[in-house]
Amino acid sequence: MTQSRPEGAPQSGTSSAASSSVSSRVASGRSSPARSGRTRSGGRRPAPDVVRDLAFDILCGVVEDRRMLETTLERHPGGDGRDRAAAHRLAATALRHMGTIGEILQPFLKREPPAPVRCALILGVAQLLYLDTPPHAAVGTIVDLLRRRGLAPFTGLANAVLRRVAREGETLREGLDEARLDVPPWLWSAWGPRARAITHGFYREAPLDLTLRPGAEVPREGTLLPTGSVRLPPGTRMTGLPGYEEGQFWAQDAAAAMPVRLMGDLTGQRVADLCAAPGGKTAQLAHAGADHVTAVEREAPRAARLRENLARLGLGNVEVVEGDALSWKPQQPFDAVLLDAPCSATGTLRRHPDVLWNKRPRDVKALAETQDAFIDAAHEMLKPGGKLLYAVCSLQDEEGPDRIAKALASGRWALAPFTPEELATMPEARTQEGYFRTHPGLWEDRGGMDGFFAARLVRK
């Protein structure tokens, strides 16, 4: 299974000026101009509401069909940019708190309702308890949603349950271990002592982090982080920033920007980026003084996006290969390979809370096997003494330290640990073994970061 969470991808969202409008669309129950009225038979006609319709489709897609949030949103057109951002925010909030919401709903439901009705109730509770939507709007929008979706027989239930949650919900939350409830047990135990900090980290919306091209100015409103990334508030729209068209920067989480920096000096080297799109790390490589950069991407639409991003950034010196890195053979071996392997993407929960609910232990197991195959393929492409930088945006041991342990046990690789000097700007990310490892709970006072794992190996 290919996971293609683009942690370096331009992040969807709204400008900061617009984000208050997004919040108000969720809070007020307003989206595109709403008209309610009477049907011919005298019944109330439900008001159109693009935001709830989209949020409902996204949530049902994740919960019922284990789809990815972004994919489901792409499949459902409609609404303007702000409606879509508001729908994304509502669905993402519901997904972040879905365990707690389920616990709160439990005593009010004598029988399990049909899955779409449960989704609608979850959205209603998310509005009431986590998005400050006034009770009349939170209840009314969900009742109307059920009517629009042919679920009118459940409007009485929704009305009664949501009104009770509006009255008693805050009291019911008291004493609940929300972090524990909001994470599926298999993930909670896999994260061990980091679990609570990770959960509190992903409750928060991610800021927009940028990597600047060398010499570019720090955009106004941006904060320069110790690692060199620039941080802007959550909801900032990158495409609206001055310098975007001129290719002065690209979106890349502060943690995601570290692996390429940890590759060491690349001056004059031949370097490959094996899983390249949308190209955040390719762009870093192209600026790092390498003599030749080859970017391999298997998925045609993603390869097209990679080319577009490189063109915007004015990086014509990268050779893009549309192909499968597991079987592709270069004409000459490389000095260095970056392998940003497909993974479960549990490190990106702040942006993709659907990962909590649509991944299973068997997915991680299958991904780990593919990661081993990628490491073997990288071995074939490197000169003896060549460097492999292995990276995943995953919090799971199976996709990080366990893969490196297996590679080292094969006797074909040596570990080149990251030194304290190399990680001086993010010392908390350096493990005893000399790996790079982050999670969303780090840098709490600065707004957090994605979870990443990276290690540097040398081909024997």
For the bound state, the minimum distance from the C-beta of residue 46 to ligand SAM, rounded and expressed in Å, comes to 40
Q: Which of 284, 309, 311, 279 is nearest to 295 (CA)?
A: 279
- 3-state SS class at 76: coil
Closer residue to ligand SAM, CB minimum distance, 181 or 274: 274
Q: Any known ligand binding at 275?
A: yes
For the bound state, the minimum distance from the C-beta of residue 292 to ligand SAM, rounded and expressed in Å, comes to 18
> In the numeric block, which tokens belong to residue 169?
């919900």
How far out from the chain centre does Cα 7 lie? 6
For the bound state, the minimum distance from the C-beta of residue 26 to ligand SAM, rounded and expressed in Å, comes to 30
Q: Any known ligand binding at 65?
A: no
Enumerate binding residues for ligand SAM (CB under 6 A): 2, 4, 6, 8, 275-281, 296-299, 302, 324-326, 340, 342
Residue pair 252/452 in contact by the 8 Å Cβ criterion: no
For the bound state, the minimum distance from the C-beta of residue 376 to ligand SAM, rounded and expressed in Å, comes to 12
Closer residue to ligand SAM, CB minimum distance, 179 or 336: 336
Residue pair 296/328 in contact by the 8 Å Cβ criterion: yes
Those residues whose C-beta lies under 8 Å from the C-beta of residue 143, and which sit 6 or more positions away, are: 46, 155, 158, 159
Closer residue to ligand SAM, CB minimum distance, 151 or 276: 276
Ramachandran quadrant class, 39 (left: phi over 0; alpha: psi -120 to 50; beta: rest): beta
Closer residue to ligand SAM, CB minimum distance, 94 or 343: 343
Look at the block and give the residue holding tokens 């919090």. Answer: 395
For the bound state, the minimum distance from the C-beta of residue 259 to ligand SAM, rounded and expressed in Å, comes to 9
Q: Which of 201, 248, 259 is nearest to 222 (CA)?
A: 248
Helix axes 135-148, 115-130, angle to 10 degrees: 160
- How many angstroms separate the first and last alpha carbons of the chain? 30
Closer residue to ligand SAM, CB minimum distance, 275 or 375: 275
For the bound state, the minimum distance from the C-beta of residue 378 to ligand SAM, rounded and expressed in Å, comes to 11
**Rounded Cα–Cα distance for residues 77 and 299 (Å):** 23
Closer residue to ligand SAM, CB minimum distance, 258 or 423: 258
- From 60, 119, 343, 393, active-site residue: 393
> In the numeric block, which tokens belong to residue 302?
């993603």
Look at the block and give the residue holding tokens 């010392």. Answer: 427
For the bound state, the minimum distance from the C-beta of residue 334 to ligand SAM, rounded and expressed in Å, comes to 15
For the bound state, the minimum distance from the C-beta of residue 303 to ligand SAM, rounded and expressed in Å, comes to 8
Residue pair 250/283 in contact by the 8 Å Cβ criterion: yes
Q: Any known ligand binding at 185?
A: no
393 is catalytic: yes
CA distances from 457 to 141, 262, 307, 345, 454 (A): 54, 12, 29, 22, 10
Closer residue to ligand SAM, CB minimum distance, 291 or 324: 324
Closer residue to ligand SAM, CB minimum distance, 127 or 309: 309
**Rounded Cα–Cα distance for residues 255 and 119 (Å):** 33
Those residues whose C-beta lies under 8 Å from the C-beta of residue 39, and which sit 6 or more positions away, are: 45
Residues in the chain: 460
In one-letter notation, the amino acid at residue 326 is: L
Q: Is the dihedral of CA 104, 105, 110, 112 positive or negative?
A: negative
Number of H helices, E strands in the chain: 17, 14
| Residues involved in catalysis | 393
Query: Which residues participate in the annotated binding site for S-adenosyl-L-methionine?
Result: 275-281, 297, 324, 340
Query: Which residues participate in the annotated binding site?
Result: 275-281, 297, 324, 340
